[in-house]
Amino acid sequence: MKTELANNTRLTECVIDNFTNPQRDVQDYWIAIYGKNNRLDHNHISGKKNLGVTMIVGLDTEGSRENNHQIDHNYFGPRPTFGNNGGETLRIGTSYQALENSNTLVASNYFDRCNGEHEIISNKSCKNTFKYNVFYECTGTLTMRHGNETLVDGNVFIGNNKPSTGGVRVINAKQTVINNYNVGLTGYRFRGAFVMMNGVPNSTPNRYVQVSESIVKDNTFVNCEHIQLCAGSDAERSAPPISSEISDNIFYNDKKTDLFTVYDDISGIKFENNLTTENIDPGIKTGFVKAEMKLLKNEQGFLIPTSDAIKKEIKISSEIATKENTGVNWYSKKDVAVALNSGKVIKVEQGINTLFDVAQASEPGDIIELVEGGSYLLTKTVQVNHPLTFKTVGTKKATILFERMMAFEIQNGGSLSLENLKFDGAKSPDYAGNSVISTSKNSMIDNYKLFIDNCEFVDLIVNHSFDVVKVSKNTFADTLSIKNSTFKNITGHIAALDKETDDLGAYNVEYLIMKNNTFSDIQGAALRLYRGGTDESTFGPFLEVDHNVFDHVGFGKKNKYKAAMSLYGVQVNDITNNIFTNCEPMEMYLVVGEPIVNVLNNNFFNSEEIKVTGDQKYTIQKTWKVNPNFEAGTYQLSKKSELVGKATDGLDLGIIFKN
């Protein structure tokens, strides 16, 4: 009964591990806290993988407001990348209660790789305090999404240079960010080491309230890459911070000179007495002093900047969370995931279904070695239930033929690495829609990895739409990598990752890598990557397409994309050093998130144009050679504008902007 609330209770020394609904897109919370004066401490909460926040504080009625809850010394274990909004670890309030006081204390908790989405914590109410928490390799930020008078004091953010790791993101009024220590955070845009956002003028509670009367003081940033001011500035978010202060912070960096990105007017922020290493150019006129600094390891193991110019000692509280003083002492915090190639080597004879049998008997991480030059026929699909590697050792690849609609099916918990193998479609059934590798048709709650290296795929032509990789809705790849491989004579796509079509920000892969491959006579697209909608809660997809040759790609009648490569909503587009010969165009549709586009040194010979469209702001990096008078920077595309790169036979791609 929601009307009968728990008050003055304590939940302590409980473990919730991997208690996950197997259906990825079904929403639930694990812990919901209502009432007043409740304490949750020393719990171990790990491995939520489906839609929905791990822990919420609800403020629905008066009886749950000004609650003085205390959430302390909990161990929040790994939460993998969710690939959609709704992967937060903690949320306090909602936009409906943005102006209610919650008065919740979140202290000395350890957040270990809480990577669900870009809000590790989503603070959505007033007067909450976050103290002495550690965020270890978490992608995203502690986000002051709604509500005022938040105190973020004495927390530690450790990135270890992992991608998308961030610190604190400030929105709203009267926010205080002090004494936090940040190290090795690499995230940019909304997951920078520190982010202060632009607001919406007279914002409704569920958009972005302008930053005002906020203080950012005495924070330390060691080798963090991005400080983002007025982030999110666009036609709607046009109100920069006012009456705010950034002072007495220390910025140490031994490599990077340009940490600060300023997206709008910063005259409403008073900068005072911030200290930087001598190499840093803040690009902000006043309030920064350069000093010679050294790093010294303190007794807790943190690298602390030292200098005569630092007047106030940089201290990390003895109350700071550690893996040891959080959670329970009777339950292990060790990772249980098994990596690819970590098991034993099993040699498999050539023949019929020998691969199927050996896979059935295998254990996680095993490496299955095929006979050099051998021939393997599958009349049954190999079920990949755990991380498995198949490879030929030697120069002559083993050949795999298959009589079912797919050779390999990755099931929940599975990951697959294929090395030095040849796949031939000669024995495949005469059906439309075959594939070499497919994911389960059912929801896969565990993210998977797929690596294809030094393989050959030929004559997948028995019927139309024969793909190399086929994925299903509610599946998500952490990494899909295709390297050093050749693809010839194929009726379908090489990889179409486009099954999340609800346009709510979901997608099928985080990192997609295509390197040093040749694709020839491919009727479908070499790649289709799709992330629809305008949600800004996620990081990817990240795409790297480098040193490939595309020859006669995309002309099949069944290729509905009418493109050799079709990219929609991809956040980072690195497309470099490729040759497109006799191909359909490469298409890019740029949506939310100021996508980064690096298109450099591609040769388009006798091919269709590269087409770039979109209705959002996007960033052209310096490496995109543009022509003429089109400089690196951030641009707003109107709904109808179009960037068209003309096909040339030189190595420099000329880009012409057309409205």
| Nearest CA among 28, 84, 55, 200 for reference residue 537 | 84
**By C-beta, is 143 or 602 nearer to Ca ion?**
143
**By C-beta, is 121 or 410 nearer to Ca ion?**
121
Binding mask 39-78 for Ca ion (x = CB under 5 A): ----------------------------------------
> 200 to 239, contacts with Ca ion by CB under 5 A?
none
> 485 to 504, contacts with Ca ion by CB under 5 A?
none
- Residue, CB closest to Ca ion: 537
The distance of closest approach from Cβ of residue 238 to Ca ion in the complex, given in angstroms and rounded to an integer, is: 23
Binding mask 531-550 for Ca ion (x = CB under 5 A): ------x-------------
The distance of closest approach from Cβ of residue 17 to Ca ion in the complex, given in angstroms and rounded to an integer, is: 23
Q: Which helix (H) or strand (E) holds 96?
A: none
The reply on whether position 119 binds Ca ion by CB under 5 A is yes
The distance of closest approach from Cβ of residue 119 to Ca ion in the complex, given in angstroms and rounded to an integer, is: 4
Q: Which position has the token pair 């629905």? A: 60
**By C-beta, is 87 or 614 nearer to Ca ion?**
87
Backbone φ and ψ for 275, nearest 5 degrees, come out as -110, 135
- Torsional sign, CA 403, 406, 410, 411: negative
Output the CA angle 6-12-18, nearest 5 degrees.
100
The distance of closest approach from Cβ of residue 130 to Ca ion in the complex, given in angstroms and rounded to an integer, is: 17
The distance of closest approach from Cβ of residue 209 to Ca ion in the complex, given in angstroms and rounded to an integer, is: 16
The distance of closest approach from Cβ of residue 189 to Ca ion in the complex, given in angstroms and rounded to an integer, is: 15
The piece of 151-159, 237-245, 494-502, 530-538 that touches Ca ion (CB under 5 A) is: 530-538
Surface-to-core class of residue 659, CB atoms within 10 Å of its CB (0-12 exposed, 13-18 middle, 19+ buried): exposed
Token pair, residue 331, equals: 């339950």
**By C-beta, is 119 or 149 nearer to Ca ion?**
119
The distance of closest approach from Cβ of residue 139 to Ca ion in the complex, given in angstroms and rounded to an integer, is: 13
Judged by CB under 5 A, the residue of 38, 84, 85, 228 near Ca ion is: 85
Q: CB neighbours (10 Å) of residue 503?
A: 14
Token pair, residue 407, equals: 């050779």
Residue ranges of alpha helices (H) inside 208-271 are: none
Per-residue DSSP letter, 101: B
Q: In sequence order, what are the residues at sequence separation of 6 or more whose Cβ sits closer than 8 angstroms to the Cβ of residue 461?
A: 425, 489, 490, 491
Q: CB neighbours (10 Å) of residue 636?
A: 12
Does residue 443 sit in helix, strand or coil? coil
CB 616 within 8 A of CB 592: yes
**By C-beta, is 67 or 537 nearer to Ca ion?**
537
The distance of closest approach from Cβ of residue 143 to Ca ion in the complex, given in angstroms and rounded to an integer, is: 8
| Nearest CA among 218, 265, 219, 206 for reference residue 241 | 265
The piece of 113-121, 416-424, 471-479, 484-492 that touches Ca ion (CB under 5 A) is: 113-121
**Whole-angstrom distance, CA of residue 21 vs CA of residue 282:** 47
**By C-beta, is 54 or 249 nearer to Ca ion?**
54
**Site residue total, Ca ion (CB under 5 A):** 3
The piece of 27-35, 114-122, 402-410, 574-582 that touches Ca ion (CB under 5 A) is: 114-122
**By C-beta, is 82 or 580 nearer to Ca ion?**
82
Token pair, residue 355, equals: 């691969």
The distance of closest approach from Cβ of residue 326 to Ca ion in the complex, given in angstroms and rounded to an integer, is: 24
The piece of 119-127, 221-229, 348-356, 625-633 that touches Ca ion (CB under 5 A) is: 119-127
**By C-beta, is 85 or 233 nearer to Ca ion?**
85
The distance of closest approach from Cβ of residue 108 to Ca ion in the complex, given in angstroms and rounded to an integer, is: 24
Q: CB neighbours (10 Å) of residue 252?
A: 24
CA distances from 96 to 53, 203, 296 (A): 17, 13, 46
**By C-beta, is 204 or 342 nearer to Ca ion?**
204
Q: Which helix (H) or strand (E) holds 401?
A: strand 398-402
**By C-beta, is 5 or 170 nearer to Ca ion?**
170
Instruction: Using CB under 5 A, list all residues that contact Ca ion.
Output: 85, 119, 537
